[in-house]
């Protein structure tokens, strides 16, 4: 019997060659206090001896290979297979006649840890639980050296790390490597410790030894884990050089060569060397065009707006049929959507749904992308298609279903189908979206002419965190705005902003509240303070510039503000609309026309349509303007701005 099965505070999990030794320890020490007499009895019983023989030194424990150690998991207490796994003898009724004849030889086997060692383990663990970690470590390490037990070495390393003693941890790993020169676990611990201490030359030697010992079947997993490990190094560039040197013999390997180059690319990315990262990714792809790691690397670079990475990836993703897994193509589409490149994202998702019609998440995101572009009917059809894929065999994610229900509810509310909206909201049971559903329900109730019920519902929302408080306030503000009670909205926002003066979102909304009641000086003061404090808050630059442009005030300054916003969000259609509008106010009609056309192609919004129609009308393109407003009026989100523009200019609405 293994002593770890009998001593709760020594219960061990398997030696995991890929685990993070600086993360949560796998061993949870049991703090139950047992009598010394009981433990001595257990120790003597397991050792198969008595105290008078405690001084005798047994032979070393027999060990399997490091790989076998990692696969030797401990049984779960209560498992129906506990008896077979733990060595507990079967019941007589469970044995065949032949087995019954051999039953005595299948009884508990003796541990090769003698009573003296067991007692040292007990004292060591007692010292650790009483806060004397290094004293306990000395006792455990002594037994580990004498017995050669790898699990004791691992436990000793963990104690040293938990005690923040790097020197002790290195001493343990050195003893461990001396006792077991081919132990993967020992070299893995050494590598992690050297990285944490930023001793990268030592880390390189440890890594080279580890790679040489790793079985071929495990080499890929070991290589994949390296960027995460070396990311802890304070000198990322030096870490890249260490990896390059250690992985040099494997760069041209047919089996892991592509993975090696992708790993180096990932490390270059961590070291903020994007060009080198891409070069490594391209070499990986050349070695194995079907390898996925270079594609994931390129996607990471695309997220950082690296155009060369996009140039590499785009033709691969455009192949028909696409040879890569759905998850890769889906991730590519999501990167495009997150960059506000809706049309390209929709194109990628459309191809994905055509080639893999049962890939549910693509339908969900396709619906959301169409909704973001203002195409509510297409959004609804794609969300419904997503929900139709739900089945007992392949149930949809509760979170994703809730997102579809919420989208359908918002779409119905825009169309004025308020009862339908409430029906969709009633289906949401995911706890992560319940607050969103309650807020949407309150807005619908307010539209139905039930403001008291709406406010009562908002008042039931959580208010115990800054985020929850902000959402609650903003819900009340929106209800006030929907009732055209802009004074109440301003009052709520002034109070909230005074209570949380560093909340950028509340300050932005406060600025918009001032703009709504034409208090421009207060608006400018508020938005100037916000943009000074948070110069990346591009929505504030845009709102400030648009407010001035819409009133034909300070037009050069307005354009400067809007251009600054567009530099931070170049694909945002609403910021494009602002720029087109200020160009119109400046008299640059052709520039305004081109900008507003692009904005409207990205988002079929009625306000953008109103601006574009006015520019067209001013350029004498009255037929095009009439067709545009007729199309825009069909939208359930047709705005007051559009209707006012049609009336003011006398635009005739003819079928598009």
Of residues 82 and 96, more confidence is placed in: 96
- pLDDT bin (cut points 50, 70, 90) of residue 637 is low
Query: Tell me, what's the pLDDT at 584?
Result: 97
Structure tokens at 462: 């959580």
Output the average pLDDT for the chain.
82
Helix, strand, or coil here: 586? Answer: coil
- pLDDT bin (cut points 50, 70, 90) of residue 311 is very high
Closest CA to 260 of 286, 299, 234: 286
Cβ 265 vs Cβ 297: under 8 Å: yes
Cβ 603 vs Cβ 574: under 8 Å: yes
Per-residue pLDDT for 1 more than 90?
no
Per-residue pLDDT for 52 more than 90?
no
Q: How far apart are CA 480 and CA 474, in angstroms?
A: 10
Give the pLDDT confidence of 359-417 residue by residue, as tens digits: 999 999 999 999 988 888 999 999 999 999 999 999 999 999 999 999 999 999 988 89
Per-residue pLDDT for 64 more than 70?
no
**Which of 83-87, 264-268, 389-393, 636-640 shows the lowest per-residue confidence on average (mean pLDDT)?**
83-87
Query: Tell me, what's the pLDDT at 113?
Result: 64
Query: Tell me, what's the pLDDT at 424?
Result: 97
Question: Quick one: what percent of the chain has pLDDT higher than 90?
Answer: 62
- pLDDT bin (cut points 50, 70, 90) of residue 259 is very high
Q: Which residues contact 87 (CB under 8 A, 6 or more apart)?
A: 1, 108, 109
- pLDDT bin (cut points 50, 70, 90) of residue 269 is very high
Of residues 504 and 631, more confidence is placed in: 504
Cβ 112 vs Cβ 59: under 8 Å: yes
Query: Tell me, what's the pLDDT at 509?
Result: 96
Over residues 221-244, the mean pLDDT reads: 94
Query: Tell me, what's the pLDDT at 166?
Result: 84
- pLDDT bin (cut points 50, 70, 90) of residue 636 is low
Query: Tell me, what's the pLDDT at 466?
Result: 85
**Cα 233 off chain centre by:** 22
**Which of 28-32, 173-177, 295-299, 444-448 shows the lowest per-residue confidence on average (mean pLDDT)?**
28-32
Q: Which residues contact 124 (CB under 8 A, 6 or more apart)?
A: 135, 136, 137, 138, 139, 140, 143
Per-residue pLDDT for 244 more than 80?
yes
Cβ 264 vs Cβ 240: under 8 Å: yes
Structure tokens at 91: 């019941």
Query: Tell me, what's the pLDDT at 123?
Result: 82
Per-residue pLDDT for 230 more than 60?
yes
Of residues 14 and 449, more confidence is placed in: 449
- pLDDT bin (cut points 50, 70, 90) of residue 490 is very high
Query: Tell me, what's the pLDDT at 112?
Result: 61
Closest CA to 582 of 569, 568, 595: 595
Structure tokens at 546: 């648009």
**Highest mean pLDDT: which range of 19-28, 43-52, 314-323:** 314-323
- pLDDT bin (cut points 50, 70, 90) of residue 111 is low
Structure tokens at 458: 């908002």
Whether this prediction's pTM lies above 0.75 is answered by no
How many CB atoms neighbour CB 593 within 10 A? 20
Per-residue pLDDT for 169 more than 50?
yes
Per-residue pLDDT for 455 more than 80?
yes
Give the pLDDT confidence of 579-610 residue by residue, as tens digits: 999 999 999 999 999 999 999 998 888 899 99
Q: How far apart are CA 520 and CA 615, in angstroms?
A: 26
Give per-residue burial for 395-426: e unless 16+ CB within 10 Å, then b. ebeeebbbbbbbbbbbbbbbbebbebbbebbe
Cβ 282 vs Cβ 260: under 8 Å: no
Q: Which residues contact 202 (CB under 8 A, 6 or more apart)?
A: 194
Task: Give span(s): CATH 1.25.40.10, the chain.
Answer: 462-535
- pLDDT bin (cut points 50, 70, 90) of residue 146 is confident
Closest CA to 95 of 343, 86, 105: 105
- Angle at 630 (CA atoms; ends 627, 631), nearest 5 degrees: 85
Structure tokens at 192: 């992690």
* Domain topology for 462-535: 1.25.40
Which residue matches tokens 């206090």? 33
Of residues 23 and 177, more confidence is placed in: 177
Of residues 242 and 571, more confidence is placed in: 242
Over residues 125-144, the mean pLDDT reads: 84
The helix (run of H) or strand (run of E) holding residue 547 is helix 538-550
Cβ 233 vs Cβ 200: under 8 Å: yes
Over residues 297-319, the mean pLDDT reads: 94
Over residues 314-325, the mean pLDDT reads: 95
């Amino acid at each position: 019997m293994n002593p770890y099965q009998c001593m709760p505070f020594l219960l061990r999990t398997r030696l995991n060659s890929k685990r993070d030794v600086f993360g949560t320890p796998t061993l949870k020490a049991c703090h139950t206090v047992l009598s010394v007499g009981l433990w001595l009895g257990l120790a003597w019983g397991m050792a198969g001896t008595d105290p008078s023989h405690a001084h005798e030194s047994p032979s070393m424990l027999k060990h399997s290979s490091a790989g076998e150690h990692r696969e030797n998991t401990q049984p779960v207490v209560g498992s129906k297979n506990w008896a077979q796994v733990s060595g507990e003898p079967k019941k007589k009724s469970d044995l065949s006649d032949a087995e019954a004849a051999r039953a005595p030889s299948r009884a508990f086997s003796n541990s090769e840890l003698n009573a003296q060692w067991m007692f040292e383990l007990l004292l060591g663990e007692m010292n650790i639980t009483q806060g004397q970690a290094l004293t306990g470590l000395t006792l455990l390490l002594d037994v580990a050296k004498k017995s050669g037990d790898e699990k004791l070495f691992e436990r000793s390393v963990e104690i040293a790390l938990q005690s923040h003693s790097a020197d002790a941890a290195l001493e343990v790993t050195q003893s461990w490597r001396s006792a077991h020169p081919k132990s993967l676990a020992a070299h893995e611990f050494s590598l992690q410790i050297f990285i944490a201490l930023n001793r990268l030359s030592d880390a390189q030697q440890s890594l080279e030894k580890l790679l040489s010992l790793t079985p071929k079947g495990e080499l890929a997993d070991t290589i994949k884990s390296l960027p995460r490990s070396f990311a802890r190094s304070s000198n990322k560039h030096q870490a890249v050089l260490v990896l390059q040197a250690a992985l040099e013999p494997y760069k041209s390997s047919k089996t892991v060569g592509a993975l090696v180059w992708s790993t180096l690319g990932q490390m270059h990315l961590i070291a903020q060397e994007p060009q080198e990262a891409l070069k490594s990714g391209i070499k990986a792809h050349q070695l194995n065009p079907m390898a996925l790691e270079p594609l994931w690397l390129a996607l990471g670079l695309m997220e950082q707006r690296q155009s060369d990475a996009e140039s590499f990836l785009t033709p691969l993703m455009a192949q028909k049929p696409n040879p890569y897994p759905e998850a890769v193509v889906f991730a590519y589409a999501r990167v495009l959507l997150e960059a506000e490149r809706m049309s390209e994202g929709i194109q990628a998702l459309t191809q994905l749904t055509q080639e893999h019609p049962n890939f549910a998440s693509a339908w969900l995101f396709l619906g959301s992308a169409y909704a973001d572009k203002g195409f509510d009917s297409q959004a609804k059809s794609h969300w419904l298609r997503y929900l139709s894929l739900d089945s007992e065999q392949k149930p949809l994610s509760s979170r994703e279903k809730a997102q579809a229900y919420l989208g359908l509810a918002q779409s119905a509310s825009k169309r004025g189908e308020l009862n339908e909206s409430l029906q969709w909201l009633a289906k949401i049971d995911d706890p992560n979206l319940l607050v969103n559903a309650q807020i949407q329900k309150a807005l619908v109730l307010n539209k139905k002419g039930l403001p008291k019920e709406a406010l009562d519902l908002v008042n039931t929302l959580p208010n115990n965190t800054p985020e929850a408080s902000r959402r609650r306030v903003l819900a009340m503000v929106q209800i006030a705005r929907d009732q055209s009670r802009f004074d109440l909205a301003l009052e709520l926002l002034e109070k909230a902003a005074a209570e949380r003066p560093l909340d950028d979102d509340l300050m932005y909304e406060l600025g918009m509240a001032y703009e709504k009641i034409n208090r421009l000086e207060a608006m400018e003061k508020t938005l100037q303070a916000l943009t000074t404090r948070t110069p990346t808050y591009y929505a504030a630059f845009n709102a400030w510039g648009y407010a001035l442009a819409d009133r034909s005030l300070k037009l050069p300054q307005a354009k400067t503000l809007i251009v600054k916003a567009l530099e931070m969000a170049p694909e945002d259609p609403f910021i494009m609309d602002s720029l087109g509008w200020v160009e119109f106010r400046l008299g640059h009609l052709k520039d305004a026309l081109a900008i507003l056309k692009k904005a409207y192609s990205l988002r079929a919004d009625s306000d953008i349509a109103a601006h574009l129609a006015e520019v067209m009308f001013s350029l004498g393109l009255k037929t095009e303007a009439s067709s545009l407003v007729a199309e825009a009026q069909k939208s359930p989100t047709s705005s007051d701005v559009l209707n006012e523009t049609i009336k003011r200019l006398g635009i005739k609405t003819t079928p598009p």
